Amino acid sequence: MAKTRVALEITEDSVRAVEVTDGRAPTLLAAGEVMLPPGAAKDSEIVDRDVVVGALRRLWTDAGIKGRNVVLGVGGRRVLVREHSSTLRETALVRQALPFDVQDRLPVPVDQAVLDFIPTHVDDEGMHGLMVAAVSEQMEDLVSVLAEAGLTADSIDLLAFGYCRALAGLAPKGVTGMLIGIGEHTTQVVIATDGVPQFARAIPIDVPRGEARVTEIEAAPTELETLTGFRTGGVEESADGAIRSRGDLRRARTAVATPPAGVPEAPAADAMSADLQDVLIDLVTRLRGTVSFYRDRTDAAPVAATFITGLHTDHPRLQAALAQVAGTEVRRITGADLVRVKNGLHPAVDERIAPTVALLLGGTK
């Protein structure tokens, strides 16, 4: 059996994972997502251990994921990424000096933080790059929950850096590209050249998936709904009139989670509620400020290619607004644009797994 790699993401609304073949041309073998009830987790943060452990076990069973060693992607509101410069010229030395250099810039005491430094370039003034800071207790809790579910975190990677590696394959060589990933509670903005990160920001904003709502937790055991990646059977019509293929939704009795009222398909081209419009207008405004902040830097390379992924990025009005913010044409991407897919991939999974898939991509060109 060919060697495989697995990536996992824990968000406030779900746990999702993908398994791909290892090698120069990875192929998606398995993908799935298990919805979480309200209050079970936040982005990259555990609130209710039992619920999340149960969801992870169900995900591995229903999606048919074989590998137990995972790359865990993180990127919530408590993970900080900022530009950092040092007069030192060796990466190892810059990392050793980080606790002293950035302690006044951290939201927690330095002895409670996990720090890293990703170099981008060296000039006459020293080494420049991105500083990453996360709460150590939060990371330890994530690893512990994985272990309880029978999984091992081989590494923890920033979702933004996965996006940077994705840009290495999406943008032409030598071209600086931007990727905007819209999640349920955090929108990622990354700018990279040949996979080398130049800029990364996480914008905290709640974006609804659609009209579906997660039901309240009940005291009695309820069903946990799993959306698996591949279409494995014939087509049937559900009670709500949505057309789904048999095998997409597998149900099992469990006492740890409550299903959503329904799994939303991609929205119609022009359908958008007033509430959703307000949220997206706010998001576009924040994105405009973030991109302007990058452009105002003296060393900012012009962005020549822009890619978007995630919630509602199939909507033409949002695409037009993001193109105006970026100053370039925008191209929407999904998980299927990053790896080969042999079988039909459920669109509701495909539109949300790009950041998870990107964690497994190679580095710079």
Q: How many Å apart are CA 320 and CA 318, to the nearest integer?
A: 5
> Strands 243-245 and 196-204: what pairing?
unpaired
Cα 45 from Cα 7, distance rounded (Å): 16
Q: Is 342 part of any domain?
A: yes
Domain region containing 96 = 80-130
How many folded domains does the chain comprise? 2
Q: Which tokens in the block code for residue 350? A: 């495909």
Same domain for 212 and 108 = no
Residues 221 and 294 in one domain: yes
Report pLDDT for 234: 34
337 within 8 A of 307, measured Cβ to Cβ: no
Residues 242 and 293 in one domain: yes
In a domain, 325, yes or no: yes
| Contact yes or no for 260/225 (Cβ under 8 A) | yes
Please check whether residues 95 and 67 belong to one and the same domain.
no
Q: Where are the alpha helices (DSSP H) in the chain?
A: 49-63, 91-101, 136-148, 159-170, 274-295, 316-326, 347-350, 354-358
Are 16 and 51 members of one domain? yes
- The Cα–Cα gap between 184 and 13 comes to 8
Same domain, 90 and 65: no
First to last CA, the chain: 29
Regarding whether 191 and 92 lie in a shared domain, the answer is no
Helices (H) and strands (E) in the chain, counts: 8, 20
Q: Give residue 345's pLDDT.
A: 80
pLDDT in tens, the chain (365 residues): 569 999 999 999 999 999 999 888 899 999 999 999 999 999 899 999 999 999 999 999 999 999 999 999 998 888 999 999 999 999 999 999 999 999 998 888 999 999 999 999 899 999 999 999 999 999 999 999 999 999 999 999 999 999 999 999 999 999 999 999 999 999 999 999 999 999 999 999 999 986 433 322 222 233 456 667 664 333 333 333 332 322 332 332 222 232 333 333 434 445 678 899 999 999 999 999 999 999 999 889 999 999 999 999 999 999 999 999 999 999 999 999 999 987 778 888 888 899 999 999 985 54
Rounded Cα–Cα distance for residues 175 and 172 (Å): 6
**CB count, 10 Å around CB of 309?**
26
In the numeric block, the tokens 């495989």 are attached to 4
Q: Give yes or no: residues 155 and 186 share one domain.
A: yes
Task: Give a yes or no: residue 365 inside a domain.
Answer: no
Do 37 and 170 belong together in one domain? yes
Which among 154, 212, 117, 159 has a CA at the least distance from the CA of 359?
159
- pLDDT tens-place string over residues 44-67: 999 999 999 999 999 999 999 999
| Residue 365 identity (one-letter amino acid) | K
- DSSP, collapsed to helix, strand or coil, labels residue 250 as strand
Name the token pair of 1.
């059996």
pLDDT attached to residue 350: 87
CA gap 44, 333 in Å, rounded: 23
- CA neighbours within 13 Å on the CB side: how many for 92? 0
Global pTM value: 0.83
**Residue 119 placed within a domain:** yes
Residue at 363 is within a domain: no
